[in-house]
């Protein structure tokens, strides 16, 4: 299903890019010289579609980088919570091993460890 949806989105998008490139193939000069626009020291002549597509790609990369840097505290918190969970799992395993070693063998494990109930926070994550 996912491949089908990707094809439904990507094929029309590719057709739009090809039509756009054919319609905008004349050459434009992109100048990086604000003082001399007639004969720029820093200028590039490219087809218009290439300029627009390059600017769109740079915009996507800049937006992705901004989002990635903006979410770093959430990634850091997730790493910290994962390390805490691993420590707690190790402590629980040690405690269970100690309890089973000190208890007689005729006690069933279900009686020693009651069933675990899971709670959920506001976003629905399991606590």
Confidence of residue 76 (pLDDT cuts 50, 70, 90): very high
Q: Which residue has the higher pLDDT, 21 or 12?
A: 12
For the chain, the average pLDDT equals 84
Output the pLDDT for position 38.
77
Confidence of residue 75 (pLDDT cuts 50, 70, 90): very high
b/e string for 49-60 if b means 16 or more Cβ within 10 A? bbbeeeeeeeee
Contacts of residue 31, defined as CB under 8 A and 6 or more positions apart, other chains included, come to 37, 40, 42, 43
- pLDDT tens digit sequence for 5-15: 888 988 998 88
107 touches 99 (CB < 8 A) = no
Confidence of residue 108 (pLDDT cuts 50, 70, 90): low
* Residue carrying the six token digits 């820093």: 42
């Amino acid at each position: 299903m996912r491949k089908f949806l990707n094809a439904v989105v990507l094929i029309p998008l590719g057709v739009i890019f090809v039509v756009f490139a054919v319609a905008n193939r004349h050459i434009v000069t992109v100048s990086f010289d604000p003082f001399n626009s007639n004969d720029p020291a820093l200028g590039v002549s490219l087809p218009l579609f290439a300029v627009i597509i390059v600017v769109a790609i740079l915009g996507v990369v800049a937006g992705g980088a901004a989002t990635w840097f903006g979410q770093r505290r959430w990634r850091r918190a997730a790493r910290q919570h994962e390390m805490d969970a691993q420590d707690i799992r190790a402590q629980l395993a040690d405690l269970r091993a100690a309890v089973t070693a000190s208890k007689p063998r005729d006690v069933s494990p279900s009686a020693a460890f009651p069933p675990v109930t899971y709670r959920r926070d506001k976003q629905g994550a399991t606590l």
